[in-house]
Amino acid sequence: MGTEPSHRYQLQIIAVRTLRLFLFGAFCLATAPAFAGLFNDTEARVQLRQIEARLAAAEELLTKLDASSKQQTSALLDLQTTIDAQNAELRKLRGQNEELEHNLQDTEKRQKDFYVDLDGRLRRFEAVDTAFSNKVSGSKNKSEDPVTENRALEAAYGFYKAESYQNAVTAFQEFLNSYPKSAHTANVRYWMGNAYFVLKDYKNSLASFQILASKFDTYPKIADVMFSIVDCQESLNNQDAAKLTLKQIITKFPNSEAAAKAKKDLAKLK
């Protein structure tokens, strides 16, 4: 962009110089007789003044062209500076956008990994659900109607399976209130804790899991319950509590897969 004005300016200078040569030649031809007569001829003097006027006009035109060329060059330089600044800002914005996309992908991956892990826990839990319920059924309150209780449980769990978690939480709480000594209490606490977590109600989710861990320490999936407690504590930004729970898992289940996983998670928190 800076080359074009310079080239134009050079052409203008060449044109003016050519005009000068032409005028000078005309001057020589016109004034030859006058020089012979030592400038006694009036016409020769008039022609000389005319040529001088033309030369002066040519000089003025050259000055104007020079000034115009400098202005154009300055304007083009300013424009180039502006374009360079805008290109730099565009590159910066592109870099920020790429960083945001990368962070979003990482967040989506972490969420996907969490729900895959949660689904795995639920599947393992469902495999032992019936066995555990049968094991503790001897402590059930005989005055309760098992048919009504089972219907209430099926209705609450139906909401949970349908992923209607808010309705599930309400139904589970009503079940616990109606059947406080039910053989399904531990299972209901587990489901309710998961439902609260999906709803991002981490405080109530934590409370449900902690009650389950404290009252049912023989629960078949107590290690999963404790990992769920860790998830809630991390979601509540309580890193110290999460570290403590992981250490409890390592102590409670030494030389187990749960302990190995807890050690890895603890290292990440450090």
Where do the structural domains in the chain lie, given as residue ranges? 3-101, 136-269
Q: Please determine, for residue 129, whether its predicted confidence score (pLDDT) is greater than 80.
A: no
Q: Which of 18-22, 59-63, 197-201, 251-255 has the lowest mean pLDDT?
A: 18-22
- Identify the pLDDT of residue 139: 43
194-200 contacts at long range (C-beta below 8 A, 24 or more positions apart): 194/118, 194/122, 194/160, 194/228, 195/160, 195/165, 195/166, 195/168, 195/169, 196/165, 196/169, 197/118, 197/228, 197/231, 197/232, 197/235, 198/163, 198/165, 199/165, 199/166, 199/169, 200/235
Instruction: Please state the CATH superfamily assignment of the domain spanning residues 136-269 in this structure.
Output: Tetratricopeptide repeat domain (1.25.40.10)
pTM: 0.50
- Identify the pLDDT of residue 134: 47
Q: Please determine, for residue 7, whether its predicted confidence score (pLDDT) is greater than 80.
A: no
- Identify the pLDDT of residue 137: 46
- Identify the pLDDT of residue 136: 45
Mean pLDDT of the chain: 78
69/211: higher pLDDT: 211
- Identify the pLDDT of residue 31: 53
Model confidence at 105, in pLDDT bands (50, 70, 90)?
confident
